[in-house]
Amino acid sequence: MVSTIVYQLTRNLSTEDIKKAGFDTYFVDHTTAVYPQAASGEPFSANMFAVTGDLLADLHEDLSAEQKARLTYDNILRYADDPDVRDPIKFLRAREVVHYQRFGEALRIATDNLNSKNFYAFNPEFDR
Protein backbone atom coordinates (compact mmCIF):
# COMPACT_ATOMS: atom_id res chain seq x y z
CA MET A 1 0.00 0.00 0.00
CA VAL A 2 2.80 2.40 0.83
CA SER A 3 4.43 1.73 -2.55
CA THR A 4 1.13 2.51 -4.26
CA ILE A 5 0.88 5.81 -2.36
CA VAL A 6 4.43 6.71 -3.40
CA TYR A 7 3.60 5.87 -7.01
CA GLN A 8 0.44 7.98 -6.91
CA LEU A 9 2.35 10.94 -5.49
CA THR A 10 5.19 10.76 -8.01
CA ARG A 11 3.69 9.53 -11.27
CA ASN A 12 2.99 12.99 -12.71
CA LEU A 13 6.13 14.80 -11.56
CA SER A 14 7.77 17.16 -14.01
CA THR A 15 11.54 17.28 -14.42
CA GLU A 16 11.56 20.52 -12.44
CA ASP A 17 9.50 18.97 -9.63
CA ILE A 18 11.86 16.00 -9.50
CA LYS A 19 14.93 18.22 -9.19
CA LYS A 20 13.32 20.59 -6.68
CA ALA A 21 12.27 17.71 -4.42
CA GLY A 22 15.76 16.16 -4.45
CA PHE A 23 14.30 13.13 -6.19
CA ASP A 24 16.65 13.33 -9.18
CA THR A 25 19.22 10.73 -8.05
CA TYR A 26 16.44 8.22 -7.38
CA PHE A 27 14.83 9.12 -10.73
CA VAL A 28 18.04 8.35 -12.63
CA ASP A 29 17.99 4.74 -11.40
CA HIS A 30 14.27 4.03 -11.11
CA THR A 31 12.35 6.77 -12.95
CA THR A 32 9.21 7.07 -10.79
CA ALA A 33 8.77 3.33 -10.43
CA VAL A 34 8.42 2.00 -6.92
CA TYR A 35 11.68 0.61 -5.58
CA PRO A 36 11.22 -0.60 -1.99
CA GLN A 37 13.78 0.98 0.28
CA ALA A 38 14.04 2.62 3.66
CA ALA A 39 13.96 6.40 3.96
CA SER A 40 17.74 6.17 4.45
CA GLY A 41 18.06 4.65 0.97
CA GLU A 42 18.78 1.11 2.14
CA PRO A 43 17.09 -1.26 -0.36
CA PHE A 44 14.67 -3.87 0.92
CA SER A 45 16.23 -7.26 1.51
CA ALA A 46 14.93 -10.56 2.79
CA ASN A 47 17.74 -10.27 5.36
CA MET A 48 15.30 -8.12 7.32
CA PHE A 49 13.36 -11.24 8.29
CA ALA A 50 14.86 -12.85 11.35
CA VAL A 51 13.58 -16.36 12.00
CA THR A 52 15.29 -18.68 14.46
CA GLY A 53 12.89 -21.59 14.81
CA ASP A 54 12.63 -20.80 18.52
CA LEU A 55 9.01 -19.87 19.23
CA LEU A 56 9.82 -17.36 21.96
CA ALA A 57 12.62 -15.64 20.04
CA ASP A 58 10.49 -15.46 16.89
CA LEU A 59 7.49 -14.01 18.72
CA HIS A 60 9.70 -11.34 20.27
CA GLU A 61 11.03 -10.57 16.79
CA ASP A 62 7.47 -10.35 15.45
CA LEU A 63 6.48 -7.98 18.25
CA SER A 64 9.49 -5.81 17.49
CA ALA A 65 8.72 -5.71 13.76
CA GLU A 66 5.12 -4.65 14.38
CA GLN A 67 6.21 -1.93 16.79
CA LYS A 68 8.81 -0.61 14.32
CA ALA A 69 6.24 -0.55 11.52
CA ARG A 70 3.80 1.32 13.76
CA LEU A 71 6.50 3.86 14.56
CA THR A 72 7.25 4.33 10.86
CA TYR A 73 3.57 5.01 10.16
CA ASP A 74 3.47 7.46 13.08
CA ASN A 75 6.42 9.30 11.57
CA ILE A 76 4.78 9.40 8.12
CA LEU A 77 1.64 10.86 9.70
CA ARG A 78 3.74 13.59 11.33
CA TYR A 79 4.79 14.81 7.86
CA ALA A 80 1.84 13.99 5.62
CA ASP A 81 -1.11 16.32 5.28
CA ASP A 82 -2.79 14.81 2.22
CA PRO A 83 -5.89 12.81 3.25
CA ASP A 84 -5.25 10.37 0.38
CA VAL A 85 -1.95 9.54 2.08
CA ARG A 86 -3.03 9.83 5.70
CA ASP A 87 -6.12 7.62 5.52
CA PRO A 88 -4.42 4.45 4.22
CA ILE A 89 -1.45 5.05 6.54
CA LYS A 90 -3.86 5.28 9.49
CA PHE A 91 -5.38 1.97 8.39
CA LEU A 92 -1.94 0.34 8.16
CA ARG A 93 -0.99 1.75 11.56
CA ALA A 94 -4.15 0.32 13.14
CA ARG A 95 -3.36 -3.04 11.54
CA GLU A 96 0.11 -3.03 13.12
CA VAL A 97 -1.43 -2.37 16.54
CA VAL A 98 -3.77 -5.35 16.12
CA HIS A 99 -0.90 -7.57 14.95
CA TYR A 100 1.16 -6.51 17.96
CA GLN A 101 -1.71 -7.44 20.27
CA ARG A 102 -2.15 -10.87 18.65
CA PHE A 103 1.59 -11.65 18.82
CA GLY A 104 1.56 -10.54 22.48
CA GLU A 105 -1.29 -12.93 23.17
CA ALA A 106 0.58 -15.74 21.41
CA LEU A 107 3.68 -15.04 23.50
CA ARG A 108 1.64 -15.13 26.70
CA ILE A 109 -0.01 -18.42 25.68
CA ALA A 110 3.37 -19.93 24.80
CA THR A 111 5.02 -18.89 28.06
CA ASP A 112 2.00 -19.94 30.14
CA ASN A 113 2.24 -23.44 28.68
CA LEU A 114 5.93 -23.99 29.33
CA ASN A 115 6.76 -26.47 32.05
CA SER A 116 9.72 -24.52 33.40
CA LYS A 117 10.06 -21.19 35.17
CA ASN A 118 13.40 -20.72 33.40
CA PHE A 119 11.90 -20.70 29.90
CA TYR A 120 14.76 -18.71 28.35
CA ALA A 121 17.20 -21.59 28.90
CA PHE A 122 15.86 -23.85 26.17
CA ASN A 123 14.13 -23.90 22.81
CA PRO A 124 10.54 -25.03 23.46
CA GLU A 125 10.25 -26.17 19.86
CA PHE A 126 12.87 -28.92 20.38
CA ASP A 127 13.83 -29.19 24.05
CA ARG A 128 10.74 -30.70 25.65
**Number of domains into which the chain is organized:** 2
Residue type at position 28:
V
Q: Look at residue 126 and tell me if it is in a domain.
A: no
Q: Do 105 and 91 share a structural domain?
A: yes
Q: Do 62 and 40 share a structural domain?
A: no
Q: How big is the chain by its Cα radius of gyration, in Å?
A: 20
pTM of the predicted model, to two decimals?
A: 0.68
Q: Look at residue 128 and tell me if it is in a domain.
A: no
pLDDT, tens digit only, all 128 positions of the chain: 777 787 788 888 888 988 998 878 877 887 777 777 777 878 877 777 778 878 888 999 999 999 999 999 999 999 999 999 999 999 999 999 999 999 999 999 888 877 666 556 566 566 66
Do 93 and 76 form a contact (C-beta atoms < 8 A)? no
State how far the Cα of 6 lies from the Cα of 120, in Å rounded to an integer. 42
Q: Do 40 and 22 share a structural domain?
A: yes
**What is the domain range of residue 42?**
1-48
Q: Do 86 and 100 share a structural domain?
A: yes
Q: Look at residue 14 and tell me if it is in a domain.
A: yes
Which residues lie closer than 8 Å to 13 by C-beta, 6 or more apart?
A: 21, 23, 32
Q: Do 67 and 24 share a structural domain?
A: no
Q: Do 57 and 39 share a structural domain?
A: no
Q: Look at residue 124 and tell me if it is in a domain.
A: no
Task: Reduce the DSSP state of residue 98 to 3 states and report it.
Answer: helix
